[in-house]
Chains A and B, each alone.
Chain A
């Protein structure tokens, strides 16, 4: 049995596997299938200052190796989360509250309300499925720095994780912007904006026309982006994007991620997270790795011959 625990911004996680926001609700439903106290943590469904209704249906589509979703951040609002979900979830596992908003004030209000009550806040400035707010804050480095700095002031007790979008010009620039704004750690990637067409109806499958692409098919791109982010900043990075088995998680950790999040695979295999945790442990044991933290950032790049151009 390897030592699977990791330390993330002073928070001890019993292992590096976190259920990703939007795929896991507030954990209750999955807990009917398995005891979720085995997880490193849960990144909650996005939480706004007031309840959000989300987008019309269909909200989901499938393509080869990936899915597309356009849920539109339907959520019960921060007060319902605090009253109905947090007390239960807290006694199960580490709670990473994913925070969404349409304005700076929205984000600030939710963070102020959550400060000291959750283990960490994950700032969602990267959702591609809402028309205002969401990703609008997460594209340009200046905007990322500004929103990060503003919510940072609201969080005096709780560490701040900023979740980055992949739909951007430069991952390193955006990662550095979040660090400059005062992020304690980063998570990436959120979903890639995509489309699926119903050729019989000649219409997009999703009511929202476009949606966020996730699942095994995005893993190589996400992995490259996590590598870039981890090497651009000195704060910890949590990697995600298409992780569907222990080997995938280990790749992300070697590329520089201190922990990982698992999302879409929870739909494919309800027990994906515990299987990945067990698989990481087994891999460590068979490879003589005493502590999972020893895997982090151990990737050595190949020497490339200098080409002529």
Chain B
């Protein structure tokens, strides 16, 4: 975990409201799949937590959705050459056990981005079944990256591309044939809830990456907590963002 001054290499729109930002860290940066970074923006007291899609050498790529004034500033004001204060790598990330040879990756909306890093890390080493959901064709992005999976199913809410429905529905329709050793998911809370109830009692481990509003991003301030099953709190930034789905309330 370091605080660095990064240089923006590229910051471009890749889909409706979605941007891909690549920056150069000050030195080679090892980021595990599912880890995130906190990006500081001039004029904003809080850093923005954003999942890392890809880290190779000094180059780190993150994708984000323009949602409020902070991400609007990030998209508008940080062109190639600009400096960014970044804290990284943060959080626990995904861990795929050696005996988990066949994995399913289920993503929805901006939840696909941390899963891209997992697909990249596991490509060629695991048999990957990816189910990626989008609102519609205009929101679809990163198709090339997702195709690194051995089997890719796209889903859209309006049926304009691929499976007509959610990525969870697409995944559940094939679960009995695919028989994954483990499932890795990220997306909106209703999607994760649907996955949790559909997978309950099947004996297949399901790991979810959670999103929460954060303060420090390093585990000190106790702002971004989630409820563990049984009532205790966990810090999404430090104990997570990845949890076994049965360990957390959604």
Contacts of B214 in A (CB 8 A): 60
Contacts of A215 in B (CB 8 A): 45
B47 within 8 A of A: yes
Contact of B46 among A22, A30, A53, A67 (CB under 8 A): A67
Query: In the bound complex, do residue B45 and residue A67 qualify as a contact, i.e. CB atoms below 8 Å apart?
Result: yes
Query: In the bound complex, do residue A33 and residue B222 qualify as a contact, i.e. CB atoms below 8 Å apart?
Result: no
Query: In the bound complex, do residue A29 and residue B218 qualify as a contact, i.e. CB atoms below 8 Å apart?
Result: yes
Q: How far is B44's CA from A66's CA once the two chains are assembled, in angstroms?
A: 8
Max chain A Cβ within 10 angstroms of own Cβ: one of B46, B87, B226:
B46
Query: In the bound complex, do residue A22 and residue B3 qualify as a contact, i.e. CB atoms below 8 Å apart?
Result: no
Say what secondary structure dominates the interface of chain B: loop
Q: How far is B218's CA from A23's CA once the two chains are assembled, in angstroms?
A: 11
Q: How far is B235's CA from A71's CA once the two chains are assembled, in angstroms?
A: 12
With A23-B215, A33-B1 known as contacts, the answer to whether A267 contacts B225 (CB < 8 A) is no
B14 within 8 A of A: no
A contact residues, total (Cβ < 8 Å)? 34
> CB-CB contacts of B195-232 with A at 8 A, as 1s and 0s?
00000000000000000111111111111111000010
Closest to A265 in B: B45
Contacts of A24 in B (CB 8 A): 220-221
Q: How far is B223's CA from A62's CA once the two chains are assembled, in angstroms?
A: 13
B contact residues, total (Cβ < 8 Å)? 29
Contacts of A54 in B (CB 8 A): 222, 225, 233
Query: In the bound complex, do residue A58 and residue B213 qualify as a contact, i.e. CB atoms below 8 Å apart?
Result: yes
A224 within 8 A of B: no
Contacts of B40 in A (CB 8 A): 268-269
Residues 98 to 148 of chain A near chain B (Cβ within 8 Å): none
* 14 A-B pairs in the complex with CB atoms less than 8 angstroms apart: A32-B218, A33-B87, A54-B225, A57-B212, A57-B213, A57-B225, A58-B212, A58-B213, A67-B45, A67-B46, A266-B220, A268-B45, A270-B216, A270-B218
| Chain A contact residues, CB within 8 Å of chain B | 22-25, 27-30, 32-33, 45, 53-54, 57-62, 65-67, 69, 71, 74, 215-216, 264, 266-271
Closest 10 CB pairs of A and B: A25-B220, A29-B220, A29-B218, A29-B219, A60-B223, A58-B213, A59-B223, A215-B45, A74-B222, A270-B3
